[in-house]
């Protein structure tokens, strides 16, 4: 039997802890709403991808109402495997994500920096993000990534030789350009071999959203449960609480090895307990 952490009471300084629908993959988005309600999460972040429900604002609204779980954020379809979701044009996918977020009452859209081969989109990305935020009132929070190699570069790499060219333009680190709002992802920081605390400080007042997960520094997106890698997950949560952070913390973790829904639920309950424990400010002496 899974011990479910009790939902936190609403209070000044309460930081909502959400569940990314990516955390229940390969189960569909529907399962994320069910588990979020059962375990006492404060909401859901919808990862828009091949799952038809994740692309359908009306279906997502029904799930949110049915389970009493708000939608905190919409993750725009920017993965390599979602390049045809909604539209083949990345600008149109981002615009659609903002419209869907507005319809669902979500305050944030998560988006990755442009891929290098998306030249027109990359050239106008900063202006597009600023325009969408201005017209919608939604935070379009650009996420830190890690140096994926473009397909053409990967095909040329042989014998352990590496290339300095990243798949993202101009950089996997959005703070090098500067945006009004950021999404901070600890697993991506691990894969990029950047100092997570230093990156958090660079995002400073622009931090709108956090993906809580762990990593070991392997050159891939691990999204381990907090505490299973070497990232300062506890320190980041405690810093957010101490600094009066006003956004959401969303668990975006990999549970693909779970043998059944009960085991996946136990893993997510453990991660939720970790987040709530470290996001709780100590009582005044």
Tell whether the model's pLDDT for residue 221 goes beyond 90: no
pLDDT band of residue 160 (cuts 50, 70, 90) is very low
Q: In this structure, are strands 71-75 and 248-251 parallel, antiparallel, or unpaired? A: unpaired
DSSP per position, 117-186: T-HHHHHTHHHHHHHHHHHH--EEEEEP---PPPHHHHHH--TT---S--SBSS-S-GGGT--S-EEEEH
Question: Per-residue pLDDT averaged across 254-269, rounded?
Answer: 92
Tell whether the model's pLDDT for residue 149 goes beyond 70: no
Helix (H, G, I), strand (E, B) or coil at 114: coil
Q: Which of 9-13, 53-57, 91-95 has the lowest mean pLDDT?
A: 9-13
Peptide bond into 26 cis (omega under 30): yes
Per-residue pLDDT at 13: 64
Per-residue pLDDT at 261: 87
Tell me the β-bridge partners of 102. none
The mean pLDDT value of the chain amounts to 89
First to last CA, the chain: 36
Q: Which of 54-68, 151-165, 189-203 has the lowest mean pLDDT?
A: 151-165
Per-residue pLDDT at 282: 62
Tell whether the model's pLDDT for residue 6 goes beyond 60: no
Tell whether the model's pLDDT for residue 134 goes beyond 70: yes
Question: Per-residue pLDDT averaged across 38-52, rounded?
Answer: 96
pLDDT in tens, 97-122: 999 999 999 999 999 999 999 999 99
Per-residue pLDDT at 10: 45
Tell whether the model's pLDDT for residue 158 goes beyond 70: no
pLDDT band of residue 139 (cuts 50, 70, 90) is very high
Q: Residues 283, 44, 253, 129: what is their CA dihedral angle, to the nearest 10 degrees?
A: -100
Taking only Cα atoms into account, the Rg of the chain, rounded to an integer number of angstroms, comes to 18
Question: Per-residue pLDDT averaged across 89-94, rounded?
Answer: 96
Contacts of 35 (CB under 8 A, 6+ apart): 19, 24, 41, 264, 265, 268
CA distance linking residue 48 with residue 187, whole number of Å: 19
CA distance linking residue 134 with residue 129, whole number of Å: 9
CA distance linking residue 250 with residue 271, whole number of Å: 10
Q: Residues 75, 81, 93, 140: what is their CA dihedral angle, to the nearest 10 degrees?
A: 30
Tell whether the model's pLDDT for residue 196 goes beyond 60: yes
Is the pTM above the cut of 0.95? no
Cβ neighbours around 285 below 10 Å, total: 3
């Amino acid at each position: 039997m899974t011990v479910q952490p009790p939902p936190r009471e609403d209070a000044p300084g309460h930081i909502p802890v959400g569940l990314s629908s990516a955390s229940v993959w390969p189960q569909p988005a529907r399962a994320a709403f069910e588990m979020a309600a059962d375990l006492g999460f404060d909401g859901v972040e919808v990862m828009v991808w091949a799952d038809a429900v994740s692309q359908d604002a009306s279906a997502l609204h029904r799930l949110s109402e049915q389970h009493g779980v708000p939608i905190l954020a919409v993750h725009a379809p920017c993965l390599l495997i979602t390049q045809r979701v909604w539209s083949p044009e990345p600008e149109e996918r981002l615009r659609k994500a903002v419209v869907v977020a507005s319809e669902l009452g979500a305050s944030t859209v998560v988006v990755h920096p442009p891929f290098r081969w998306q030249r027109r989109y990359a050239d106008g990305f900063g202006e597009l993000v600023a325009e969408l935020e201005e017209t919608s009132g939604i935070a379009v929070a650009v996420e830190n990534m890690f140096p994926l190699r473009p397909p053409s570069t990967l095909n040329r790499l042989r014998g352990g030789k590496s290339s300095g060219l990243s798949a993202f333009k101009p950089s996997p680190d959005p703070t090098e350009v500067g945006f009004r709002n950021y999404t901070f992802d600890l697993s991506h920081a691990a894969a990029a071999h950047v100092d997570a605390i230093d990156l958090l400080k660079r995002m400073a007042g622009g931090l709108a959203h956090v993906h809580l997960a762990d990593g070991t520094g392997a050159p891939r997106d691990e999204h381990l449960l907090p505490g299973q890698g070497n990232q300062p997950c506890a320190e980041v949560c405690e810093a957010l609480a101490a600094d009066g952070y006003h956004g959401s913390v969303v668990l975006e973790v990999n549970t693909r090895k779970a043998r059944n829904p009960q085991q996946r639920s136990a893993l997510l309950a453990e991660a939720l307990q970790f987040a709530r424990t470290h996001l709780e400010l100590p009582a005044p002496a």
